[in-house]
């Protein structure tokens, strides 16, 4: 089989519309060659998109002025923590601001709005982060919605503030999902680093343990700055979730050993939680309760955590 002729440079790097190709002088027969795929009607690309973000980039050439990605598509663009099953939804969601019409084609779910707060992320028009999060209240369960909110106000590269989420919830009053969004925002905390941290925090919260600081500073003055995932400062107890990278990355593992030694010398008790520990949430709570009681806490934990175990989004 003969090698297909090269595409113009402006079309070779990313998905493009058939209309743009014809304007660049590409014959229609070239657009039907097997080295190109058709992710959406009127679009061609080099590879079939396999992730939510890739599908957004594939559909982007078809967006008109007044249209933007919304819902789960916008959440993927913002990098929110989403449940794996939801993240794999093949449908692209697009919002059209009146009087622009929403797209109607296979693989696309169109929405309408009289007005919307929009933003631009890596060249892609999307609904603003707080508004996107409120839209998710229709499709996500409570814990997943809390984790998605935590991801927007995370410690590194936050997308918005808790106050902005609260304001968006107020603007949504009376609309579908408002009650769930209102419940969820009350549990969103700034400073998280992962969805597993969120799940761990919710588990301890439902066990009626004291409220910890999220990624609080635990280093001594003048020492290297250190943070703890969940810090019970009054009792000098830290609860940490160790992800896979803590075990697979030799440098990270070595750094963890030094860090734990420093914390122990400073009088901290550190409870480390792994993904496997979530198979027995009662044991996690018992370990934290034991550490707190060793340091003087005299509260009584609740067994409500056994009725509903938080599930991490990833």
Q: For residue 15, give every residue at least 6 positions away whose Cβ sits within 8 Å of its Cβ, in sequence order, or none.
A: 39, 43, 44, 45, 57, 58, 60, 61
By residue range, what is the domain housing residue 37?
9-44
Q: Please say which residue of 164, 185, 206 terminates a domain.
A: 185
**Is 314 part of any domain?**
no
Q: 241 and 287 share a domain? A: yes
Q: 31 and 80 share a domain? A: no
Q: 77 and 165 share a domain? A: yes
**Is 165 part of any domain?**
yes
**Is 190 part of any domain?**
no
pTM attached to this predicted model: 0.88
Q: 62 and 25 share a domain? A: no
State the total domains in the chain: 3
223 vs 183 pLDDT, higher one: 183
The per-residue pLDDT for range 158-217, each reduced to its tens digit, is 999 999 999 999 998 888 899 999 999 999 999 999 999 999 999 999 999 999 999 998
Q: 77 and 180 share a domain? A: yes
Q: 39 and 56 share a domain? A: no
Q: Is the pLDDT of residue 60 over 60?
A: yes
**Is 3 part of any domain?**
no
The per-residue pLDDT for range 24-56, each reduced to its tens digit, is 999 989 999 999 999 999 999 999 999 999 999
Q: Please say which residue of 140, 157, 185 terminates a domain.
A: 185
CATH number of the domain encompassing residue 216: 3.40.960.10
Q: 35 and 145 share a domain? A: no
Q: Please say which residue of 138, 161, 185 terminates a domain.
A: 185
**Is 313 part of any domain?**
no
CA distance 177 to 2: 55
Q: 85 and 38 share a domain? A: no
Q: Quick one: pLDDT band at residue 20, thresholds 50, 70, 90?
A: very high
Task: Look at residues 304, 233, 302 and name the one whose alpha carbon lies nearest to residue 269.
Answer: 233
**Is 103 part of any domain?**
yes
Q: 96 and 143 share a domain? A: yes
- The 3 state secondary structure assigned to 229-243 is EEEEHHHCEEEEECC
**How many Cα neighbours within 13 Å face the side chain of 310?**
27
**Is 302 part of any domain?**
yes
Q: Is the pLDDT of residue 264 over 90?
A: no
Q: Can you tell me the mean pLDDT for 62-84?
A: 94
Q: 200 and 162 share a domain? A: no
CA distance 57 to 52: 9
**Is 129 part of any domain?**
yes
Q: 57 and 87 share a domain? A: yes
Q: 249 and 272 share a domain? A: yes
């Amino acid at each position: 089989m003969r090698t297909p002729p090269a595409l113009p440079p402006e079309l070779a790097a990313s998905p493009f519309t058939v209309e743009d190709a014809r304007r660049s002088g590409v014959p229609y027969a070239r657009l039907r060659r097997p080295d190109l795929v058709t992710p959406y009607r009127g679009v061609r690309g080099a590879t079939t998109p396999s992730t939510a973000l890739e599908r957004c980039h594939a559909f982007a050439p078809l967006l008109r002025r007044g249209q933007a990605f919304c819902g789960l598509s916008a959440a993927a663009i913002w990098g929110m923590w989403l449940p794996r099953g939801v993240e794999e939804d093949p449908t692209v969601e697009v919002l059209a601001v009146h009087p622009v019409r929403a797209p109607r084609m296979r693989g696309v779910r169109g929405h309408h709005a009289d007005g919307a707060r929009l933003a631009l992320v890596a060249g892609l028009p999307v609904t603003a982060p707080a508004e996107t999060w409120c839209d998710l209240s229709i499709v996500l369960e409570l814990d997943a919605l809390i984790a998605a909110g935590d991801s927007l106000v995370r410690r590194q590269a936050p997308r918005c503030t808790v106050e902005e989420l609260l304001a968006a919830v107020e603007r949504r009053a009376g609309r579908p999902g408002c009650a769930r969004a209102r419940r969820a925002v009350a549990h969103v905390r700034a400073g998280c680093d992962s969805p597993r941290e969120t799940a761990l925090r919710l588990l301890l919260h439902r066990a009626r343990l004291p409220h910890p600081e999220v990624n609080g500073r635990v280093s001594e003055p003048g020492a290297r700055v250190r943070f703890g995932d969940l810090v019970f400062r009054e009792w000098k107890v830290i609860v940490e979730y160790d992800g896979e990278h803590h075990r697979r990355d030799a440098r990270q593992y070595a750094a963890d050993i030094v860090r734990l030694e420093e914390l122990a010398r400073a009088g901290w008790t550190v409870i480390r939680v792994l993904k496997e520990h979530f198979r027995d949430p009662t044991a996690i709570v018992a370990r934290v309760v034991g550490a707190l009681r060793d340091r003087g806490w005299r509260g009584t934990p609740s067994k409500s955590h056994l009725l509903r175990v938080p599930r991490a989004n990833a």
